[in-house]
């Protein structure tokens, strides 16, 4: 999930809520929406890798 901050930056949050804190995990802050979307794709790709 990508949200725009007051400062004009974009922050990527995890899709699931942490059961202990009740909040989503911060996965990075980016200057542009395109950079945030690119990183989200990278995260999704990495989650699917089988080692």
Interval 5-18 mean pLDDT? 96
What's the predicted TM-score (pTM) here?
Answer: 0.83
C-alpha 19: how far from its chain's center? 17
When pLDDT is cut at 50, 70 and 90, the band that residue 43 belongs to is very high
**CA-to-CA dists, residue 15 to 8, 31, 51, angstroms:** 21, 20, 23
Q: Which domain holds residue 16?
A: 2-48
pLDDT mean over 22-49: 95
Q: How many structural domains are present in the chain?
A: 1
The dihedral built from the CA positions of residue 37, 27, 42 and 20, taken in this order, carries a sign that is negative
Give the mean model confidence (pLDDT) for residues 18-40. Answer: 96
Closest alpha carbon to 1 in 9, 10, 12: 12
- Quick one: what percent of the chain has pLDDT higher than 90? 90
Give the C-alpha separation, 21 to 45, whole Å: 26
């Amino acid at each position: 999930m990508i949200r725009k901050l007051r400062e004009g930056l974009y922050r990527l949050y995890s899709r699931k809520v942490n059961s202990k804190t009740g909040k989503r995990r911060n996965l990075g802050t980016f200057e542009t929406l395109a950079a945030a979307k690119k990183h989200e794709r990278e995260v999704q790709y990495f989650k699917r890798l089988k080692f």
